[in-house]
């Protein structure tokens, strides 16, 4: 096996998804801890703790205690090279999560043991199911009051239409949570210390048949209940099938507590054995395997100002095939020109390390002078690949944004444009007008707060914001009439996007029907059908 194939084979690239507050960021930090990528686990800022999760690098994330943008984290563990894509849980930033999922080979879904499946979890799962990627479930917070474990499994199966296979089984919950039973090794894992915030906890192993030792660890009542539950699982549950796991039809389920480190390292070890090596990606009608000779990658995220000292823009690329070599010249398919990828880096949130080589499955960041867009393909010269575009999502909330200080025109233009290029907002202009008055569209209202914070803190610009009643947007695909003479209702607005394409903003469905009825030849296309930014 060639060196390149060996390196690709040890890559594992996955995203962590959840509803807000399910413990996703805490789990991410503990995985980094076991990989020795960090020395102690940070926590989201609280009343008693001023540390922050390493994956929450943006200043507003630290202040609000939530993840707003996806982070890329790479570390080594037991011979594997692991790329974690930590995603926002809040629904207002779900578009960033959707884009990030296109770069993942598998997904870890974190579920709160007390709440079960929540709306955001449901939405994110559907995106994963469309790609048929493996889904692993971590039922978190077993150290708190939790729902019945069998009920949780039943809910997962009914809601998502897939099978579940518990890899371990919890012993109690809340203050009575004693540990887990490892179904593969047929051993009990209880823990010597459950102190919150402990970095590493030593497991005490005990066989299920060792009644005396088990009674001393968890008590006779819990032992009897555990034996009955394991018998029920073994007799009536789904059988383990690795093929079904790897095509997203069977989800391995792990129970634990990320905060207290219950079951985290066993989860990591099992997950790495079960999840896939880097997957093939589609280019037109062809599937491009990772071991294909020749480097190819696509841009799934752009982020400006990750490093305040440099004020630069980073384009995040998922390497699909081959080996990347720093200094080589590659081909930018959309730009139709040869380029060198400047300052290639691998990430630990906002911390960067220049890399000379990277392989299929890796995520690298490169300096973007403004030439990349989300969904762009970069490849070896002579390769004929172009990876599928990443769908955009229709904005649901709109506001008019106007600069206050005319002396800061350049900063205003740069800030709005760069944040729009990241996909964090979408901006539109009235025809024949400049940048002084911009329509901003967002998927979630919280994105307006992030825009204001970033414009002030990163670009030094304040602006006026006026909310509008618009909630629907359509592209003008064709029209036999002059757009200036369209017969539209008073609230309907004709705007252009950054690429000069014509759109109409509406406040309600009846306005769309009016426009189509009163303007023969007008053809409108829904925003979700557009594939690029």
Strands (E), 197-322: 203-207, 250-255, 281-283, 286-288, 296-304, 313-321
Q: For the chain, what percentages of helix, strand and coil (3-state, to nearest 5) are there?
A: 30, 30, 40
Q: Which bin fits 91, alpha (ψ -120 to 50), beta or left (φ > 0)?
A: alpha
Choice between 401 and 189, residue whose per-residue pLDDT is larger:
401
Q: Which residue has the tokens 């696509």?
A: 298
* CA–CA separation, 468 and 235 (whole Å): 59
pLDDT of the residue at 65: 41
Token pair recorded at residue 397: 């909330």
Strand partners, 433: none
- Cβ atoms of 480 and 520 within 8 Å: the answer is yes
* CA–CA separation, 135 and 138 (whole Å): 10
Whether 120 has a pLDDT exceeding 90, the answer reads no
Q: What is the CATH number of domain 281-379?
A: 2.40.30.10
Whether 268 has a pLDDT exceeding 50, the answer reads yes
Which of 80-94, 122-136, 323-337, 448-462 comes out lowest in average pLDDT? 80-94
Whether 417 has a pLDDT exceeding 80, the answer reads yes
Token pair recorded at residue 338: 């040869």
- The CATH H-level superfamily of 397-529 is Peptide chain release factor 3, domain III (3.30.70.3280)
Strands 493-497 and 463-467: unpaired
Q: Write out the DSSP string of 464-495.
A: EEEE-S--EEEEEEE-SS-GGG----TT-EEE
Report helix, strand or coil for 149: helix
pLDDT of the residue at 193: 53
Backbone angles phi, psi at 134, to 5 degrees: -60, 140
* CA–CA separation, 176 and 106 (whole Å): 33
Whether 54 has a pLDDT exceeding 80, the answer reads no
- Please give the model's pTM, rounded to 2 decimal places: 0.77
Strands 437-442 and 426-429: antiparallel
pLDDT of the residue at 88: 58
Which of 164-173, 185-194, 289-298, 514-523 comes out lowest in average pLDDT? 185-194
Token pair recorded at residue 15: 């995203």
Q: What is the mean pLDDT of residues 495-501?
A: 86
* CA–CA separation, 289 and 296 (whole Å): 11
Within its chain, how far is the Cα of 122 from the centroid? Answer: 14
Report the candidate in 196, 189, 333 with the shortest Cα–Cα distance to residue 269: 189
Neighbours of 349 (CB within 10 A): 18
Whether 44 has a pLDDT exceeding 50, the answer reads no
pLDDT of the residue at 514: 94
Kindly report the average pLDDT of the chain as a whole number: 82
Question: How confident is the model over 230-239, as pLDDT tens digits?
Answer: 999 998 888 9
Whether 533 has a pLDDT exceeding 80, the answer reads no
Token pair recorded at residue 145: 């009051």
Whether 427 has a pLDDT exceeding 60, the answer reads yes
Which of 117-131, 186-200, 333-347 comes out lowest in average pLDDT? 186-200
Report the candidate in 39, 132, 41, 37 with the shortest Cα–Cα distance to residue 80: 37
Choice between 327 and 298, residue whose per-residue pLDDT is larger:
298
Question: How confident is the model over 364-400, as pLDDT tens digits?
Answer: 989 888 888 888 999 999 999 999 877 667 788 899 9
Whether 506 has a pLDDT exceeding 80, the answer reads yes
Element at 276 (helix H, strand E): none
Report the candidate in 134, 140, 131 with the shortest Cα–Cα distance to residue 108: 134
Strand partners, 230: none
Helices H, strands E: what count in the chain? 13, 31
Using pLDDT thresholds of 50, 70 and 90, give the confidence band for residue 73.
confident
pLDDT more than 90, % of the chain = 40
Strand partners, 323: 359
pLDDT of the residue at 528: 52
Whether 62 has a pLDDT exceeding 90, the answer reads no
Domain positions in the chain: 3-175+239-274, 281-379, 397-529
Strands 281-283 and 286-288: antiparallel
Whether 348 has a pLDDT exceeding 60, the answer reads no
Neighbours of 524 (CB within 10 A): 19
* CA–CA separation, 371 and 114 (whole Å): 46
User: What b/e string do you get for 78-117 counting C-beta neighbours within 10 Å, with b at 16 or more?
Assistant: eebbbbbbbbbbbbbbbbbbbbbbbbbbbbbbbbbbbebb
Please give the class, per CATH, of domain 3-175+239-274. alpha beta
Strands (E), 113-210: 135-140, 163-166, 168-171, 179-182, 187-191, 203-207
Report helix, strand or coil for 410: helix
Choice between 296 and 91, residue whose per-residue pLDDT is larger:
296
Token pair recorded at residue 173: 């919950």
Using pLDDT thresholds of 50, 70 and 90, give the confidence band for residue 89.
very low
Token pair recorded at residue 192: 């010597």
∠230-236-240 over CA atoms, to 5°? 85
pLDDT more than 70, % of the chain = 82
- Find the largest Cα–Cα distance for the chain: 87
Which of the given ranges, 34-38, 405-409, 422-426, has the highest pLDDT on average? 405-409
Report the candidate in 371, 360, 302, 292 with the shortest Cα–Cα distance to residue 337: 371
Choice between 69 and 423, residue whose per-residue pLDDT is larger:
423
Neighbours of 4 (CB within 10 A): 17
* CA–CA separation, 19 and 314 (whole Å): 27
Strand partners, 340: 329
Which of 51-60, 148-157, 429-438 comes out lowest in average pLDDT? 51-60
Which of 116-130, 169-183, 245-259, 508-522 comes out lowest in average pLDDT? 116-130
∠235-236-237 over CA atoms, to 5°? 110
């Amino acid at each position: 096996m060639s060196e390149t194939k060996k390196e690709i084979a040890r890559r594992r690239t996955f995203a962590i998804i959840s509803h807000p507050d399910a413990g996703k960021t805490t789990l991410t930090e503990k995985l980094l801890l076991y990989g020795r990528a960090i020395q102690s686990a940070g926590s989201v800022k609280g009343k008693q703790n001023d540390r922050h999760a390493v994956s929450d690098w943006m200043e507003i994330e630290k202040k609000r205690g939530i993840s707003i943008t996806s982070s890329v984290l790479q570390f080594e563990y037991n011979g594997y090279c692991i790329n974690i894509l930590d995603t926002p849980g809040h629904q207002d930033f779900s578009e960033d999560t959707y884009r990030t999922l296109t770069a993942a080979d598998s997904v870890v879904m974190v579920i709160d043991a007390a709440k079960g499946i929540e709306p955001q979890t449901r939405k994110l799962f559907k995106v994963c199911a469309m790609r048929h990627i493996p889904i692993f479930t971590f039922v978190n917070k077993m150290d708190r009051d939790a729902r019945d474990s069998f009920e949780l499994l039943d809910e997962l199966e009914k809601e998502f239409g897939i099978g579940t296979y518990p890899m371990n089984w919890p012993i109690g919950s809340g203050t009575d949570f004693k540990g887990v039973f490892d179904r593969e090794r047929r051993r009990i894992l209880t823990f010597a210390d459950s102190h919150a915030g402990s970095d590493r906890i030593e497991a005490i192993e005990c066989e299920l048949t060792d009644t005396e030792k088990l009674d001393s660890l968890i008590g006779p009542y819990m032992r009897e209940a555990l034996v009955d539950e394991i018998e029920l699982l073994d007799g009536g549950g789904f059988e383990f099938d690795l093929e079904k796991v790897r095509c997203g039809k069977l989800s391995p389920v792990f129970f634990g507590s990320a905060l207290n480190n219950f079951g985290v390292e066993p989860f990591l070890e099992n997950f790495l054995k079960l999840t896939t090596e880097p997957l093939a990606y589609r280019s037109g009608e062809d599937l491009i395997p990772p071991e294909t000779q020749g480097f190819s990658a696509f841009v799934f995220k752009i982020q400006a100002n990750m490093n305040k000292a440099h004020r630069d823009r980073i384009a995040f690329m998922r390497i699909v095939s081959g080996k990347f070599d720093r200094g080589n010249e590659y081909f930018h398919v959309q730009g139709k020109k040869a380029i060198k990828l400047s300052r290639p880096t691998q990430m630990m949130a906002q911390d960067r390390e220049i890399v000379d080589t990277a392989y299929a499955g890796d995520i690298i960041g490169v300096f973007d002078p403004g030439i990349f867009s989300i969904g762009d393909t970069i490849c070896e010269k002579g390769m004929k690949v172009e990876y599928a575009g990443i769908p955009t999502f229709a904005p649901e909330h709109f506001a008019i944004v106007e600069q206050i200080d005319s002396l800061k025109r350049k900063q205003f233009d740069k800030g709005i444009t760069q944040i729009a290029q990241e996909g964090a907002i979408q901006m539109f202009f009235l025809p024949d007008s400049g940048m002084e008055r911009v329509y901003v569209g967002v998927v979630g209202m919280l994105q307006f707060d992030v825009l204001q914070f970033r414009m002030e803190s990163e670009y030094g610009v304040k602006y006026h914001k006026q909310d509008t009643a618009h909630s629907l947007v359509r592209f003008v695909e064709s029209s036999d009439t002059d757009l200036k003479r369209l017969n539209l209702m008073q609230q309907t607005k004709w705007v252009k996007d950054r690429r000069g394409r014509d759109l109409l903003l509406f406040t309600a469905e009846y306005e769309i029907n009016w426009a189509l009825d009163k303007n023969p030849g007008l053809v409108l296309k829904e925003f979700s059908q557009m594939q690029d930014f």
